[in-house]
Structures are given as C-alpha cells and as structure tokens.
Amino acid sequence: MKLSIGISLLAVTVLLLAPPFPEAPAGFDNKTNGMVDDATHAADQAKFDETEALDDGLGPLYNTQSCRECHQNPTSGGPSQVTELRVGHSGPRGEFVNPEIPIARGTEIIKGRSLVNDRAICPNAAFPGTEIQERVPDSETIRTFRVSLNVLGDGFVEAVPDQTFVDLAKDQCKKNHKICGQVLYVPIVEAPGQTRVGRFGWKDQQASLLSFAADAYLNEMGITSRLQPDEVTNLCNTVAEPNDKTGPDGLSDIDHFARFIRATETPARDAQTAQTPKARLGAELFDKVGCDTCHVQTLTTAPAGTNLNGGTFTVPPALGGKQFHPYGDFLLHNVGTGDGIVQSMTEHYGKKMYQITWKNLSGNCLRKGPFPVPYLVSFLC
Ligand code: HEC
Ligand code: HEC
C-alpha cells in the first residue's frame, strides 16, 4: 500500500516536473512550421495561390479560381469575408431536404448538395447557348451564408488524437452544466472504409486535410481529383477527369494544398493587445464563466510517428508532441445559431460514398428511411 502511494506520489511529481510540451510555432510570416523547408513551402503556397483556368478543368460550376481568394487574410491560409450560399427546404416530416437547382433552362437539375455555386464557365465561345448559372428557386426556403474559415495551423488540429475530443465530450457531460458536445466520426476519403473524429468545417464534416482539399477543389473550383473524380455537371465540360493530374514529383494539386496547410504556423496571438488590462480581465472572465468549456485554450498533438487518417498519414516531428491554442470548438454543440442545413454525404465524400462500408461512421447521424438520400445531421444527431 505504502509502496503504491509512494509510486503514485512519484508519478505525480514526475508529471509536475515534466516540462510542458513545446509550443507550436506561430506567425503570419509565410514561414513553414518545420515540416518541410521554406522553398518547398513557398512552392506549395504557389499552388494554393494559383489561379485556375478553363483548361485546368475550372468549373463547370464554381465559386472562385483559387483557394487564396477565400483563404487570404492577412496571408495565404488566413480567413476572409467571402461567404458561401447554402440552401434547401423542409420535407413533409420537417426533415432537411437538399435543394433541386435547375440549370440550362431546366434541362438538368443539380441535386445531392446544399452548396449553390456563385459562378459558371458558360455560356462561352464553345457553348454559346448553354446557360448553366445556378439560381435558387423560391421553393428553397432554408438559406444561409457561411463565411470562409482560417486554415493556418490546421496541421496541428489534424494531429490531435481522436481520444482528446472523445474525452473532452465526456468531461463536458460530467460537469454540472452538462454541455454535452458531440463527436462525429466522418469518412477519410483517401482511406475508404476508415473514419475519424471530424474537426474541419463549420459542422466538423472532415477529419483529414487531404479529404478537405479534394472536397474544396471540386466544390469551390469545380476541379475533379483522384479523391473526387465526378463533376457536379458535365454540361460545358471539356477537360478529361480527373482534372487534377499527378505532377513530375508524384504529387497532385490536392497533395500540395494539404502539405501547404499542414506546414503552416498557427495564427499568432496579438501580444500587444493581450497585455492590456482589459484583455487580461477578459481572459479571466472567459475561464470563469465557462467559455473555455467549449473554446478550449490548449490542445496537444499526438507524438511524432503516430499514424492518422486510416494509416495514410504519419505525424512528422514538426507537428508531433506540440501544444497550441486554437480556442476552437471542435465538438458539435447546439448554441442556437444552427443554420438549418444538414451536411450532404455525397457532396463531401463523393458520389460513391454509399458503395463503401465505413467503420464506426456516426450511424445515428445518418438518416435513412423515407428520405431519398441519407444526411449527416448538422448539430445534434
Ligand atoms: C469561395 C471561397 C472558398 C474557396 C475558393 C476555398 N474555400 Fe476553403 N473554406 C471556405 C469556407 C466557406 C469554409 C467553411 C466551409 C463549411 O464548413 O461550410 C472553408 C473551409 C476550409 C477548410 C477547413 C478549415 C477549418 O479549420 O475548419 C479547409 C482545410 C479549406 N477550406 C481548404 C481549402 C482549399 C485547399 C481550397 C482550394 C482548393 C479552398 N479551401 C478553397 C471557402 C473557400
Ligand atoms: C456550448 C459550447 C460553447 C460555449 C460555452 C461558448 N461557445 Fe462560443 N461558440 C460555440 C460554437 C459552436 C460557435 C460557432 C457558432 C456558429 O457556428 O454559429 C461559437 C462561436 C463563437 C465566436 C465566433 C467565432 C468565429 O470564429 O466566428 C465567438 C467570438 C465566441 N463563440 C465567443 C464565446 C464566448 C466569449 C463565450 C463565453 C461567454 C462562448 N463563446 C461560449 C460554442 C460555445
């Protein structure tokens, strides 16, 4: 008994004396966090900043011509004021139903996604009579704009173990205020059958930055890739699929985007403001009233060498065993600001998503039965 007390005291002492995990590098200086060298990072950033054109496979429906147009402030990878339109309507049982958007004078209906693209590549010289601009019909009464998010430092978020979020949700539930956050297991598109705790996007719809890059390349820019090989429409489409080809270095654009994001530093805190008495008081209050229950201040990444994303990504030393301060809420919480849009499975994970059996996919978040397509429920499943 004495011995075990002795051992646990020793363990506590060792824990207390153990140095804290090193801080993830922070800054807005376009430097790498050390995962790659600065030249590689600059080249990856050039891909993220690149303006795509018709012969790269842009569109047919799209929002903008480069990732940077929406992820830019104050440097590539930061957020922006650019918003995206999502719509849908309620079905007979009050369930969310994806919109049906007619294009080409009603000869084709875009289905299976809530996103409405702002731009289209035609009519153009090759297709002067094909008018495919998406317009929202009156029937789609649920409408929202979602603002562009920051991606700087997201490599650290990706490297947080699933268990951290599972434990956070449990702890929240146990405490007096019972703010039970929910974890959502979502598909890893590059590891068919494998799932992981979602943490990216307003609804935690992705867990892997490579999956997100392919999702964004298709849905924001209309560029198909090996992970998202199907166009939203084939009208006016002239470039062979997948549009995103493997380069001489063996990498496609989506690989460069994912590596760029993984190698970014975390957003730096405004040190000057943080020292002011008001900010210090605010920080105290933030913890005191429980904001930090959801907006957790410090997270720690898995050790270097840990396999993530269904074994397709190994945490490199630059990302492993680091602490960082995202203040983000990576669990699903209904805080009364729900936009009523339920995530479409095929939009985010590809049209073949239902031909795959996904291990541990958040089953109670899938609605089947009377509805034509199952949906990923937005906040509470
Ligand atoms: C038209 C604007 C726009 C473009 C272009 C765009 N994004 Fe985004 N991005 C967004 C918005 C809006 C969100 C939030 C999406 C949501 O959850 O509904 C987002 C979210 C993300 C996230 C998740 C960030 C987080 O921490 O949750 C990643 C990663 C991302 N985008 C990568 C990319 C990449 C890579 C490209 C280029 C292939 C790209 N985006 C192009 C607007 C854009
Ligand atoms: C129950 C969990 C929870 C608690 C507690 C909570 N928040 Fe939030 N907070 C959220 C969620 C979820 C969002 C995203 C809301 C949305 O999608 O509309 C958010 C968004 C925010 C945003 C906007 C962030 C952005 O990037 O747009 C701010 C600022 C914020 N919260 C501050 C606070 C403060 C201050 C407190 C304490 C008074 C607090 N929150 C308490 C869950 C929480």
- C-beta neighbour count of 363 within 10 angstroms: 10
- Would you state the pLDDT for residue 372? 34
3-class secondary-structure state, position 256: helix
Given a contact cutoff of 8 angstroms between Cβ atoms, the answer to whether 81 and 94 are in contact is no
pLDDT in tens, 232-271: 999 999 999 999 999 999 999 999 999 999 999 999 999 9
Mutating to test ligand 1, I would choose from 62, 73, 149, 324 the residue with most ligand atoms within 8 A of its C-beta, which is 149
Structure confidence by residue, pLDDT tens digits, 46-94? 999 999 999 999 999 999 999 999 999 999 999 999 999 999 999 998 8
Say if residue 381's pLDDT is above 60.
no
Which pLDDT score is estimated for 337? 84
Give the Cα-Cα-Cα angle 373, 377, 381 (nearest 5 degrees): 125
Range with lowest mean pLDDT among 95-99, 148-152, 298-302, 369-373: 369-373
Q: Is 194 in the pocket of ligand 1 (CB under 6 A)?
A: no
CB 228 within 8 A of CB 212: no
Percent of the chain with pLDDT over 90: 82
- Of all ligands present, the nearest one to the C-alpha of 216 is 1
**Interval between CA 288 and ligand 1 midpoint (Å):** 33
Query: DSSP strand E in the chain: where?
Result: 61-62, 83-90, 96-97, 101-103, 108-110, 115-116, 119-120, 142-147, 185-187, 195-197, 299-300, 307-308, 313-314, 323-324, 343-344, 375-376
**Closest residue by CA, ligand 2 atom 6:** 291
Instruction: From the CA of 147, give the closest atom in ligand 1.
Output: 12
Q: Is the pLDDT of residue 373 over 80?
A: no
pLDDT over 50 at 174, yes or no? yes
The predicted-structure confidence for 114-130, as pLDDT tens digits, reads as follows 999 999 999 999 999 99
Rounded to the nearest angstrom, the distance between the alpha carbon of 216 and the centre of ligand 1 is 6
pLDDT in tens, 5-39: 444 555 555 555 667 899 999 999 999 999 999 99
CB 155 within 8 A of CB 209: yes
Of residues 45 and 338, more confidently modeled: 45
Predicted local confidence at residue 178, as pLDDT: 77
Give me the pLDDT at residue 364, please. 45
Determine the pLDDT at residue 27.
97
Q: Atom 23 of ligand 2 has which residue's CA nearest to it?
A: 328
Model confidence over 304-331: pLDDT tens digits? Answer: 999 999 999 999 999 999 999 999 999 9
The reply to whether ligand 2 has any atom less than 6 angstroms from the CB of 292 is no
How many A from CA of 72 to the centre of ligand 1? 11
Residue 8 is predicted with a pLDDT of: 54
**Cβ(120)–Cβ(134) below 8 Å:** yes
Distance 353 CA to ligand 1 centre (A): 21
Whether 1 has a pLDDT exceeding 50, the answer reads no
Structure confidence at residue 371 (pLDDT): 35
**Average model confidence (pLDDT) across the chain:** 91
pLDDT of amino acid 15: 53
- Peptide bond before residue 74 is cis, with ω within 30 degrees of 0: yes
pLDDT band at 362 (very low <50, low <70, confident <90, very high): confident
Q: Is the Cβ atom of 295 under 6 angstroms away from ligand 2? A: yes
The CA distance from 218 to 62, in Å, is 8
